[in-house]
Amino acid sequence: MSKVLLVSDIHANLVALDAVLKDASVHTDFQAVWSLGDAVGYGPRPNECLSRLAELDARSVVGNHELAAVGEISLDEFNPYARAAAEWTGGVLDEVSRLYIASLPRTEVIGDFTLVHGSPADPVWEYITDPLIAVRNLEHFDTAVCVCGHTHVPIAFGFSPENISTERSEPGSTVSIKDGRWLVNPGSVGQPRDGDPRASYAILDRDEMRVTFHRIEYNIEEVQRQMMEIGLPAMLIARLAIGQ
Ligand code: ZN
């Protein structure tokens, strides 16, 4: 289980997820998939994305959008677009998907890695957007590395006694996580927000302790067509094309 495909914030975008799975298998023979939450919400194919993760036997944690769709958390914290999508998602989730979501932990520890959606301190809501928030979180997990999602921006924060580093994760770049402690976010498969609309993911090499970031184009127009057919908010449809 040395090579792991890291995915997060798939957001019911099956076209993007399948593009990532195909591209990842070209780059590497990954043996495991770890999903960092928000596999549903915003997008048009929630049941299909969850069943794809189940087929892959992915290790997954739950995100705020899963919890909202099954009524575990209130929609008050959601903006009107996210709320409309969460209500639609809640209405179409089938029984298998609901059972799958109910089985997901908020925090998972696998060897040297802690998996969460938001942050170790607040797995559901906190966004780790800068090194200060990252450093505050170091005392909230015991492993060397935390992998997280939620911001939809690929990034790696590294900490050693002498140094804090922020790796901006250009596509194709590799970050060594051998020394010190790290928080790594593979970015969003289904709704990137760093200005690059391509699907984002990362490959973790557990033997070498390094992470490689990747981007792959997918058929955005097809997903937008699916969303229009359902009647999801126009803002959510438009943002896919600009990666914001
Ligand atoms: Zn998300």
pLDDT digits (tens, 9 = 90+) for 79-98: 999 999 999 999 999 999 99
Angle of helix 80-92 relative to helix 234-242, nearest 10 degrees, comes to: 100
CA 144–ligand 1 middle distance (angstroms): 24
Query: Checking phi first, is residue 13 left (phi over 0); if not, alpha (psi -120 to 50) or beta?
Result: beta
Q: Give the Å distance between the CA of 207 and the centre of ligand 1.
A: 29
Question: Which band of pLDDT confidence, cut at 50, 70 and 90, is reported for residue 169?
Answer: confident
Sequence-distant (6+) residues with CB within 8 A of 238 are none
Among 114, 135, 185, 190, residue whose Cα is nearest residue 155: 185
Compute the average pLDDT of residues 190-200: 97
pLDDT-based confidence at residue 1 (cuts at 50, 70, 90): low
Q: Is the pLDDT of residue 45 over 80?
A: yes
Q: Please give the DSSP secondary-structure letter assigned to residue 117.
A: S
Mean predicted confidence (pLDDT) in 216-225: 98
Query: How far away, in angstroms, is 65 Cα from ligand 1 center?
Result: 7
Number of H helices, E strands in the chain: 8, 12
**CA–CA distance, 55 with 188 (Å, rounded to integer):** 20
For residue 223, how far is its CA from the centre of ligand 1 (angstroms)?
17
